[in-house]
Amino acid sequence: MESIDFKNFIENDSNPFILFDFGGHIKYLNNSAEVLLGYINPKILYDLALEYAPKSYGHRGILSNLEFDIFSFFSIMVGYEDDENIYIRLYNKPQIKQEKNVSKEMLILTDVNSLLEANITLFEMQSSAKLSLFVDQDLPMFKIDQNSFSKILRKMLEAFIKSQSLSIDLKLLFGEYIVLGDTKYQMLELILKSQKRDTSNDDEIMQIIEQTCLTCQIKKDTFKLQMPIIL
C-alpha cells in the first residue's frame, strides 16, 4: 500500500489536536486548536491532558462535557506520543443547525442603544446591582424585531436582578459574520456578565431566541447575544 501522509488529516480536522512536550510547551497544534487557543490558556489543556493521561503507554478516551467560552466538547482523548510528549484531542459536541427563515417584514429599523437604555431603566427599577456599561453610541440603526428583542433583553436582565454587579457590553464584531438565507451580515454582540445569576428562565429565553434571527450562548454567569446588522 502506498504511504499516506495522515498528518494532513489531523491538520485540517475540525476537532482540536495539541501535542505537548514534558514541560507543557506546545510542539504541534492543528488549525482548530489554533482557534481554540485564541480563547483559552494552553496551560489549562496541558493540565487536562496530565489529569487524564493513561497510566501506562497508549491512549485513553474520556467522555465528559467540557465548555470553553464559545466551544463545547463531549469527549477528549489523551495519549503518549513517546516518553517525552503527550497529546490531547478534543471532540466537538455536535450542534443542530437550524435554518432561520425570519421574515424581514417583522423587522423594524431601530436605535439599539435606545432600546437597551429603556431595558436598563426597567432593570434599575428592580435591582441595586452596580452597572458597568460599555456601548458604542455610533452604532448604526439596523432592523430587528423590536418586541421580541425587548422581551429577550428583559428576561436576560431579570436573571441579574439579585446580582451585586452587572457588566453590559455592546460592540461590533469584526471579522465574524452570520449568514441568513443567502446573505452574509456583520454582527453585533451584547454581553451581559456577572459573578452569579438566576438561570431559571434560560429555557424560555432560548425559546424566544429560536424564533428570531438572533443567536445566543448561555453560560452560568454570562449571556452572549449576537445579532445580524440588517440595514
Partner 1 sequence: MGCTVFFSNCEKIKQIKKGFELTRNMQISTLLYGESNIGKKTLVKSMYNNATWIDGSDFVKLKNALLENNEIVVYNFDIHRNYAAEEFNNKKIIALTDETTVPDYIDSLFGFIYKMPPLRDRPEDLEFFIEKYIKEANENLAKKDILAIDKEKIDLSNNIKSLKIYIYKKIAFNNLEKSEIQDILYDYFQKNLQGNNDYVKFLNLFEYPLIMAGLEKYGSQLKLSQILGINRNTLRKKVNENGIN
Part in contact with partner 1 (CB under 8 A); list of ranges 9-17, 54-62, 85-93, 110-118: 110-118
Report the C-alpha gap between 36 and 174 in whole angstroms: 18
At position 16, the amino acid (one-letter code) is P
Q: Which is nearer to partner 1, 95 or 200 (CB)?
A: 200
Pairing mode of beta strands 215-218, 222-228:
antiparallel
How much is the CA Rg of the chain, to the nearest whole Å?
Answer: 21
Query: Does position 150 bind partner 1 by CB under 8 A?
Result: yes
At position 224, the amino acid (one-letter code) is K
At position 1, the amino acid (one-letter code) is M
Within 74-111, residue ranges assigned H as helices are none
Q: Which is nearer to partner 1, 115 or 180 (CB)?
A: 115
Pairing mode of beta strands 71-80, 17-20:
unpaired
Query: Does position 151 bind partner 1 by CB under 8 A?
Result: yes
The residue assigned the cell 503518549 is 80
* Residue 190 dihedral angles phi and psi, to the nearest 5°: -115, 120
Query: Does position 145 bind partner 1 by CB under 8 A?
Result: yes
Q: Which is nearer to partner 1, 53 or 106 (CB)?
A: 106
Binding residue for partner 1, selected from 53, 115, 180, 191, defined by CB under 8 A: 115
Q: Which is nearer to partner 1, 12 or 147 (CB)?
A: 147
Binding residue for partner 1, selected from 56, 101, 121, 128, defined by CB under 8 A: 121
Part in contact with partner 1 (CB under 8 A); list of ranges 4-12, 117-125, 128-136, 217-225: 117-125
The residue assigned the cell 452574509 is 184
Part in contact with partner 1 (CB under 8 A); list of ranges 38-46, 57-65, 108-116, 187-195: 108-116
Q: Which is nearer to partner 1, 110 or 186 (CB)?
A: 110
Query: Does position 148 bind partner 1 by CB under 8 A?
Result: yes
Tally of CB atoms within 10 A around 153: 24
**Element containing residue 72 per DSSP (H, E):** strand 71-80
Q: Which residues bind partner 1 (CB under 8 A)?
A: 106, 108, 110, 114-115, 117-119, 121-122, 124-125, 145-151, 154, 204, 208
